[in-house]
Amino acid sequence: MGLIDDARMVAAEFEYSADDVNKGVKEFIRQMDEGLQETGKSMSQIPTYVTAVPNGTEKGVYLAVDLGGTNFRVCSIKLNGDTTFSLTQSKVAIPHELMVAKTSKELFSFLAKQIESFLKIHHSDHFEEHHQRRQNGAEITDEHFLQLGFTFSFPIHQISINKGHLIRWTKGFDIADAIGKDVCSLLQSEIDALHLPVKVAALVNDTVGTLMARSYTSPGKTGTLLGAIFGTGTNGAYVEKLEKVTKLKKMKEGGDFDASTGNMIVNTEWGSFDNEMSVLPNTPYDTALDKDSNNPGIQMFEKRVSGMFLGEVLRRAILSMIKDGMTELFKDESSGTNDVHSTCTIADDSPLYKQWGIDTSFLSIAHEDQSAGHHITRQALNRDLGVDAASSEDAQAIKILVEAIGKRSARLSAVAIGAVIISTGNLSLTAGDGRDEEEKAVLEEDVVDIGVDGSLVEYYPRFEEYIREALREIESIGEKGEKRIRIGIAKDGSGVGAALIALVAGGREGGS
């Protein structure tokens, strides 16, 4: 058996059939329902206390801040009321000493000072007017305050739209006295200490922000059902019927929210779907990756879908072929058997031998490569992986593996999207039941709008095409249903999305 046949055998381990997709969807829906009823389940299904999505007509000026890692971003978003907006922003690095400060006050005081600096530059009239009102003892009401959405990308126990207790720090932060405290209150206290005209109106998850940003900017009148991230990680937030979120009644600390819409946006945390591995596909490469990860047995869906892990799955598949001894990958008996007339070698310090050594960008390059003799992939093998003089057959074998891993990721992504659409019953809500489906285009009222963000869905070759192929194979969707699903990029959930959540939290009244 030749090298290409060997590669196809390994690639076959990543096949995810139509039957697998349908089994996955049924289990995904079951775990969604389970998470809506009780806490502590595989799928967290976290109530966000956001009960409405924008429709593009909202106006006003809102602030958003984003503490997602080593940088802090401050944004001002002007919503124009016609699905468009303008954004002004500044970004500053967090000094390391503040990431490990003795008290939370040190960090949050720094954040508030960045907001103050931003206001002085970009909202100087508003800042000065507020200062004058204070000096003159004039009445200051809520309408004089700018509403702010706070994207805080650390584990939080959220108990209302603007209240959430820090569970733990990640990403190099370690400030012990902040654990268990309400991060919105911590920020508001320091804002108040500087007498700034700013109210922390909403605590924001960036996936929920993606949903909001897409709903504001999407074409037509249809509200967005789902915001999904397919990038370094994966997650989804969607609009659920409030009556289905039954665990709200059991939650002791549950905060107030506007129940008049009959809806609640739910943050699925679907990266942990099927941690029990009842329906998720598995290969020896997935098993080894999980075993050597820093969270074995956790985030099992994410480890098969997201960009952070696809390169590592590929690396382990390649190594299995190299170490097998039965395949001819990167092996030449002599330079005469290699079409570049040089013997293929792998550098001793090749990233192939290092955990996380392959970046997902390599998969994109190989997947997209249509060059003669797979020249582009061979260049990438040399440049990125230290594989010198790989043959065209070697590159073709790598491409076969890459396509299988990328396609499985997209088909699994379709399971999540399809399950949310079916579970919420959106495909059964149609305005055009009397129409000839074959002859007429999909009516705007029949569109199911999905907002997506992340490097995979935006840049990975054919990712959406593979998602749609799998959606057509789902029994409750089919070809007719798939045509009604509109997938659009939603940018900047942590900025624009956060501002829109501040708007919803503030009762849809524009800032000044």
The CA-CA-CA angle for residues 110, 114, 119, to 5°, reads 145
The CA-CA-CA angle for residues 364, 366, 370, to 5°, reads 110
Exposure string over 116-148, b if 16+ CB within 10 A, otherwise e: bebbeebbeebbeebeeeeeeeeeeeeebbbbb
User: What percent of the chain is predicted at pLDDT more than 70?
Assistant: 93
Residue 502 to residue 49: CA distance in whole angstroms: 12
Amino acid 24: pLDDT: 98
- From edge to edge, which strands make up the β-sheet containing 234-241? 46-47, 263-267, 234-241, 224-230, 448-453, 485-489
Strand duo 46-47 + 263-267: pairing = antiparallel
Per the CB < 8 A criterion, the answer to whether 450 and 237 are in contact is no
Per the CB < 8 A criterion, the answer to whether 185 and 418 are in contact is no
Query: Which are the contacts of 360, defined by CB distance < 8 A and separation ≥ 6?
Result: 307, 308, 310, 311, 455, 456, 460
Confidence of residue 246 (pLDDT cuts 50, 70, 90): very high
Q: Is the dihedral of CA 269, 274, 275, 281 positive or negative?
A: negative
As given in the structure block, the two tokens for residue 311 are 């390169």
**Given a cut of 90, is residue 114 above it in pLDDT?**
yes
**Given a cut of 80, is residue 345 above it in pLDDT?**
yes
Per the CB < 8 A criterion, the answer to whether 21 and 279 are in contact is no
φ, ψ for residue 235, nearest 5 deg: -165, 165
Q: Is 369 in a helix, a strand, or coil? A: coil
Instruction: Identify the CA nearest to 215 among candidates 224, 207, 227, 206.
Output: 224
Q: Which range, of 96-110, 216-230, 287-301, 421-435, averages the lowest pLDDT? A: 421-435
* Cα 123 from chain centre: 31
Q: Is the dihedral of CA 201, 202, 206, 212 positive or negative?
A: negative
As given in the structure block, the two tokens for residue 179 are 């654990």
Confidence of residue 429 (pLDDT cuts 50, 70, 90): low
What are 457's strand-pairing partners?
none
Query: Which are the contacts of 354, defined by CB distance < 8 A and separation ≥ 6?
Result: none
Residue 231 to residue 313: CA distance in whole angstroms: 16
As given in the structure block, the two tokens for residue 140 are 């200051």
| Contacts of 459-464 spanning 24+ positions with Cβ under 8 A | 459/364, 460/307, 460/360, 460/363, 460/364, 460/367, 460/406, 460/410, 461/364, 461/367, 461/368, 461/406, 462/367, 462/406, 462/407, 462/410, 463/230, 463/406, 463/409, 463/410, 463/413, 464/410
Instruction: Identify the CA nearest to 296 among candidates 309, 287, 285, 308.
Output: 287
Per the CB < 8 A criterion, the answer to whether 45 and 39 are in contact is no
Find tokens 């994109």 and name the residue. 364
Largest pairwise CA distance in the chain = 89
Confidence of residue 509 (pLDDT cuts 50, 70, 90): very low
What CA dihedral angle connects 179, 184, 188 and 189, to 10 degrees?
-20
Q: Is 42 in a helix, a strand, or coil? A: coil
Regarding predicted confidence, which is higher, 165 or 156?
Answer: 165
Q: In whole numbers, what is the pLDDT of the chain averaged over residues?
A: 90
Amino acid 508: pLDDT: 44
As given in the structure block, the two tokens for residue 121 are 């530059």
E strand spans, 314-412: 345-346, 387-388
**Given a cut of 80, is residue 427 above it in pLDDT?**
yes
As given in the structure block, the two tokens for residue 186 are 């911590």
Confidence of residue 493 (pLDDT cuts 50, 70, 90): confident
| Over residues 330-352, mean pLDDT | 75
**Given a cut of 70, is residue 438 above it in pLDDT?**
no
Q: Which range, of 46-50, 97-101, 489-493, averages the lowest pLDDT? A: 489-493
The residues assigned a catalytic role are 153, 168, 206
Query: Which amino acid belongs to residue 335?
Result: S
As given in the structure block, the two tokens for residue 273 are 């779907």
| Over residues 354-368, mean pLDDT | 95
**Burial of residue 291 (number of CB atoms within 10 Å: 0-12, 13-18, 19+):** exposed
Query: Which are the contacts of 345, defined by CB distance < 8 A and separation ≥ 6?
Result: 387, 388, 389
Amino acid 202: pLDDT: 94
Amino acid 512: pLDDT: 36
Helix-strand-coil split of the chain, %, nearest 5: 45, 15, 35
**Given a cut of 80, is residue 221 above it in pLDDT?**
no
Instruction: Identify the CA nearest to 206 among candidates 240, 179, 235.
Output: 235
Residue 428 to residue 426: CA distance in whole angstroms: 5
Confidence of residue 214 (pLDDT cuts 50, 70, 90): very high
Residue 216 to residue 60: CA distance in whole angstroms: 13
Q: What is the pTM of this model?
A: 0.88
